[in-house]
Chain A
Amino acid sequence: MKLKARHIIPTTAIALWAIACFVFFQYFYPYHFFYKEQNQLFLMSADWLQTYFDGAGWLARIAGDFLTQFYYYLYAGATILTLTLTLLCVTLWWTLKRWGLNTWGALVIALIVTTMEAVFHLSYDFPLSGTLSLLGWAVLTLTITLTKTKRKVTLALLAVSSLVLGAWLFGTPKIGKIGMPNWYLERQLSADCEYYFGNWDKVQQIVEQDKERTPEMLFFYYLVQAQRGLLPEKLLLFDRPELGTFYSIGPQTPILTIRNMNELYWALGDMTFTERAAMMTNVFSHNNRNVRMIRRLAECNYVSGDSLAAEKYLRILDKTFAYHQWADNLRTHGKDIYRTKIEMVNQRDTITISDNAHFLMMQLLDTNPKNTVALDYILCSTLLLKDIQGFKRDYDRYCMEHATPRLKTLYQEALCIWLAGTNASQEEWKKYIQRPDVLQKFQQYNEKRGSAAFKGTYWYYFDKIKAPKV
């Protein structure tokens, strides 16, 4: 009975620990895995693998990066991490028992160490190779303890050679940060990753249902709406809209902001700045490699017609497990997939020293006024700043001059402010305001200016909400 307890209870404890670990990472913390997968590049190529041999711990690093590439798939991240940690726990438990600790002492220590390793993985930059390094050392130590020889010289030689071998194969185990889960980042990554996977309805659902939504989540929410032509409708749905159009990126900018800007430039259709942000993200990623941005570099060069550059990145993706089919698909069906983007590409060459989004969007619209994503972003950005003059200028230039007025409620409301503020003639009112319902509501608003009943209108925003600082 006692013997049974000594086996069953520890096994059950480890199994329960593994289930808890899997459930936590899979159902409460899954998006960190996607970030880690995207933030590296692993190629099945002899010369690429050779780069791992430069430093100590090559086996742990190769195995870590190899396994991390599978985080791309649903459930894979939590499964791989749980299996690795469980294996670590079991190995530690056995090793400590071989060292003479009793079952329960060994179990407690093994569970504590493994839990600490699990906590390290709460951090978005802790690599799997860190845990594999520790696992490697644990396996090596266990192997030594299984040796039956009692000769001191043999044991000493074995210990020294194991130390050398361990240092060469596994390096020094990495110590991560002890801390609470980064829920802020997890929420941010949830919108980011679902957007990346093309699950735009889910982005919308996540953001609308989250009461503690972050600015970064809103950024992706608006990115979805803009590409669905619904940005003006949704702009004032939340208190602090986040469009990303007021950012400037540089070496000091956080990598996630640079990557978000890459998504914005791509959605707008500016391939120069898409490529720049992709390059920057790559440069500041783990080992200067980021598979998501390699994919983007292939895409943006394909769209801008630089087939040689696109092929450079497609060849890299050919050697990945998760993206080689994507690369094939781009080669075969790229023209159909990116038809609209190719049509929107900037055809005029101007030069600027600034990455001011307003200027970039003007350049895009000058080339192609039908670029509704850029149009809505430029108009909504000026409206957020309460720059009615700027809005009217852009609206005239890209809508009225092309005889394509964009009769969105938001724009009609903003135009009412401009028309009222400039004492415009009846003719001008007629020219701009083609929605009688808006005009009627504007008259009502003027009777109850600032009333919360008009929350969600641009007039209320203009009167009551603070504009973002630029």
Chain B
Amino acid sequence: MKRLLNILTLSIILALLVACTPTPKDVLMRDMLPPIYPDYCDVTIPVNIAPLNFLLRADCEAIEVKAGDVILHANGNEAVFDIDDWKDLTTQASGKSIKVTVTALIDGQWTQYMPFFWQVVTDKVDPYLTYRLIEPDYEIWNHVQIQQRCIENFETNAIGHYEQLENRCMNCHTYANQDPQLSMMYVRGPRGGAILNQNGQLSKLDIPGSVYFGFSPSGRYITYSTQKIIPAFHSLASKRLEVYDSESNVFVADMEQHRIIVSPLLSDSLKFETFPTFSPDGKYIYYCVADSVSLPKDIRQLQYSLVRIPFNEQTGTIGSQVDTIFNQRSVCHPRISPDGRFILYTVADYGTFPIWHPEADLQMMNLQTGRIDTLSIVNSQKSDTYHSWSSNSRWFVFASKRDDGLYGKPYFCYVDQNGKAHKPFCLPQEHPTFYDYNLKSFNAPELGKGKVPFDVDDVARAMQQEAKKFK
């Protein structure tokens, strides 16, 4: 009886709440798209994405959102979908588009904006995203975390946390072939090292000076760069920080025999070599190289080209011929799609740290035809960089500062079977105001096919191990 009474009371409260939410009448039509944040107007989304919750940047008293068959009424300016309704909506609309109409009560007047569409594609994006949360200054850190987020819902967990790791700095977590069973991350500081995850077994490696790295397809090798990183400051406030290398070289580490493979072509003292990555067939190492210049004086002359050098996974040997792939402006972060069709990279006016370069944009080259797509639908007026592919080569994620120029956020972009890129969308959050109040950058986002089989405590335990030395 008491339980029944409780249910009845709750139902009355809910009914009252719903009754208190006004519904549109005498609607004024406006010939503009709704000013929603994040900008989810006319974006292409995977069927497995979490609800695209958003807010209307207007001082509105109530909002009505019609998305397909789902109708949402709410007081205030936030549209937050029920996750089950959302899943039904995207599943039913798979391969089709959803029409979204936003109507808002502003100054006592209901206003309906032009509808927009969500194109739902059947190609799924890898369900897990890892990233580092750090203040955008990068020069200093305090309370750094590496998190893993399931992008099919809002579940988040830390895989590297300052509390368990003595408030150390941590760097990118990178998968081998987007496989959660093989991945690596760095924990810096005294007795720090690379933490290698092999099927959940963590080991600590002492790979001298390693910064940027990528796995070979078999997972036996990693190619990595070492650099002496120098932070510098622009006097023009809008340009902020510049980071450059006073030295940088590329190496290969054999993870089985714990040896370093060196080539004079990859460690030329007159050149800066960086951002190495294996091709998906393991036959090449793609990387960026620049002629050394006097720094920081001639920073604007520091131009990196995209090049490649052969590699033999069977023998573990580096080739002797370097081919230039692209040498306009300064190229950073080359990443090849797992199917080997495209290479995605960042171009900036100069230098090797595109995060603070507003002009830094992504470009995509078709490796079969050499055709370059400048990705105008993807790029923004602010920095767009640090990208990673989904295992099916249909999606990539990248960090963009398009909203405020300061804080990087993960954006997902669909590349259809014809190689055409679609308008990207921002990682959805449970609360649409999340990004407004968040004071950390989402740094180095990486997509993975599943949840990594370790947690923060495993990493803390691995840190107690003696690091395996490389010869």
Interface residues of A (CB under 8 A from B): 43, 45-48, 50, 250-251, 270-273, 275-276, 279-280, 282-284, 287-289, 300-301, 304-306, 308-309, 311-312, 315-316, 319, 345-353, 355, 360, 363
Bound complex: CA A16 to CA B441 (Å):
51
Q: Does B220 contact A (CB under 8 A)?
A: no
Residues of the A chain whose Cβ atoms lie less than 8 Å from the Cβ of B404: 308-309, 311-312
Q: Digit string of B270-310 for contact with A (CB within 8 Å is 1, else 0)?
A: 00000000000000000000000000100100000000000
Q: Does B312 contact A (CB under 8 A)?
A: no
Are A279 and B437 neighbours in the complex by a CB distance under 8 Å?
no
A–B pairs, 23, beta carbons within 8 Å: A45-B437, A46-B431, A50-B431, A251-B140, A272-B233, A275-B237, A275-B240, A276-B137, A276-B139, A276-B233, A283-B137, A283-B141, A288-B135, A308-B403, A309-B405, A311-B404, A312-B403, A348-B236, A350-B235, A351-B232, A351-B235, A352-B233, A360-B235
Are A350 and B238 neighbours in the complex by a CB distance under 8 Å?
no
Once A312-B404, A312-B406 are accepted as A-B contacts, the answer to whether A304 and B232 lie under 8 Å apart by CB is no
Bound complex: CA A356 to CA B440 (Å):
28
Are B437 and A300 neighbours in the complex by a CB distance under 8 Å?
no
Residues of the A chain whose Cβ atoms lie less than 8 Å from the Cβ of B234: 272, 349-351
Once A48-B437, A283-B142 are accepted as A-B contacts, the answer to whether A345 and B137 lie under 8 Å apart by CB is no
Residues of the A chain whose Cβ atoms lie less than 8 Å from the Cβ of B140: 250-251, 279-280, 283-284
Question: In chain B between 398 and 419, which residues have their CB closer than 8 angstroms to a CB of chain A?
Answer: 403-407
Question: In chain B between 202 and 243, which residues have their CB closer than 8 angstroms to a CB of chain A?
Answer: 230-242
Once A272-B236, A272-B240 are accepted as A-B contacts, the answer to whether A47 and B405 lie under 8 Å apart by CB is no
Bound complex: CA A349 to CA B236 (Å):
5
Once A276-B137, A288-B143, A353-B231 are accepted as A-B contacts, the answer to whether A316 and B436 lie under 8 Å apart by CB is yes
Bound complex: CA A351 to CA B351 (Å):
13
Q: Does B434 contact A (CB under 8 A)?
A: yes
Cβ distance A95 to chain B, nearest Cβ, rounded Å: 33
Residues of the A chain whose Cβ atoms lie less than 8 Å from the Cβ of B239: 272, 349
Contact of B405 among A45, A288, A306 (CB under 8 A): A306
Once A283-B142, A353-B296 are accepted as A-B contacts, the answer to whether A319 and B233 lie under 8 Å apart by CB is no
Bound complex: CA A218 to CA B354 (Å):
41
Cβ distance B301 to chain A, nearest Cβ, rounded Å: 12
Are B142 and A353 neighbours in the complex by a CB distance under 8 Å?
no
A46-B431, A309-B405, A312-B436 known; 4 other A-B pairs, CB under 8 Å?
A50-B431, A288-B135, A312-B403, A345-B237
Residues of the B chain whose Cβ atoms lie less than 8 Å from the Cβ of A288: 135, 142-143, 439-440
Q: Does B430 contact A (CB under 8 A)?
A: yes
Q: Does B319 contact A (CB under 8 A)?
A: no
Bound complex: CA A249 to CA B122 (Å):
52
Residues of the A chain whose Cβ atoms lie less than 8 Å from the Cβ of B141: 283
Bound complex: CA A348 to CA B431 (Å):
41
Contact of A308 among B232, B242, B405 (CB under 8 A): B405
Most buried by B among A43, A271, A279, A311: A279
Counted as pairs of residues, one from A and one from B, with CB atoms less than 8 Å apart, the total is 110
Contact of A353 among B232, B240, B431, B437 (CB under 8 A): B232
Bound complex: CA A130 to CA B445 (Å):
37
Q: Does B136 contact A (CB under 8 A)?
A: yes
Top-9 shortest CB links A-B: A47-B431, A271-B237, A304-B237, A349-B236, A312-B404, A279-B137, A353-B232, A351-B296, A283-B142
Bound complex: CA A47 to CA B435 (Å):
10
- Who on chain A is nearest to B142 by CB? A283
Residues of the A chain whose Cβ atoms lie less than 8 Å from the Cβ of B405: 306, 308-309
Are B235 and A348 neighbours in the complex by a CB distance under 8 Å?
yes
Are A300 and B237 neighbours in the complex by a CB distance under 8 Å?
yes
Bound complex: CA A334 to CA B37 (Å):
25
Q: Does B433 contact A (CB under 8 A)?
A: yes
Are B299 and A351 neighbours in the complex by a CB distance under 8 Å?
yes
Bound complex: CA A287 to CA B431 (Å):
20
Q: Digit string of B237-256 for contact with A (CB within 8 Å is 1, else 0)?
A: 11111100000000000000
Cβ distance A350 to chain B, nearest Cβ, rounded Å: 5
Once A279-B137, A319-B437, A352-B296 are accepted as A-B contacts, the answer to whether A306 and B142 lie under 8 Å apart by CB is no
Once A283-B135, A353-B232 are accepted as A-B contacts, the answer to whether A346 and B237 lie under 8 Å apart by CB is yes
Are B142 and A346 neighbours in the complex by a CB distance under 8 Å?
no
Residues of the B chain whose Cβ atoms lie less than 8 Å from the Cβ of A275: 237, 240
Are A351 and B242 neighbours in the complex by a CB distance under 8 Å?
yes
- Who on chain B is nearest to A348 by CB? B235
Cβ distance A441 to chain B, nearest Cβ, rounded Å: 40
Cβ distance A275 to chain B, nearest Cβ, rounded Å: 7
Are B235 and A279 neighbours in the complex by a CB distance under 8 Å?
no
Residues of the B chain whose Cβ atoms lie less than 8 Å from the Cβ of A280: 137, 140
Cβ distance A356 to chain B, nearest Cβ, rounded Å: 11
Bound complex: CA A306 to CA B358 (Å):
12
Are B142 and A284 neighbours in the complex by a CB distance under 8 Å?
yes
Are B135 and A315 neighbours in the complex by a CB distance under 8 Å?
no
Bound complex: CA A233 to CA B413 (Å):
61
Bound complex: CA A345 to CA B234 (Å):
13
Bound complex: CA A345 to CA B439 (Å):
26
Are B296 and A312 neighbours in the complex by a CB distance under 8 Å?
no
Bound complex: CA A148 to CA B237 (Å):
68
Bound complex: CA A309 to CA B405 (Å):
6
Q: Digit string of B133-152 for contact with A (CB within 8 Å is 1, else 0)?
A: 00111011111000000000
Once A47-B434, A251-B140 are accepted as A-B contacts, the answer to whether A353 and B237 lie under 8 Å apart by CB is no
Bound complex: CA A47 to CA B431 (Å):
6
Cβ distance A454 to chain B, nearest Cβ, rounded Å: 40
Are B436 and A315 neighbours in the complex by a CB distance under 8 Å?
yes
Contact of B433 among A47, A282, A304, A345 (CB under 8 A): A47
Bound complex: CA A346 to CA B232 (Å):
17
Bound complex: CA A360 to CA B237 (Å):
12
Bound complex: CA A415 to CA B58 (Å):
61
- Who on chain A is nearest to B134 by CB? A283
Bound complex: CA A353 to CA B137 (Å):
15
Bound complex: CA A305 to CA B404 (Å):
12
Residues of the B chain whose Cβ atoms lie less than 8 Å from the Cβ of A284: 140, 142
Are A279 and B237 neighbours in the complex by a CB distance under 8 Å?
no
Bound complex: CA A7 to CA B136 (Å):
59
- Who on chain B is nearest to A278 by CB? B137
Are A346 and B236 neighbours in the complex by a CB distance under 8 Å?
yes
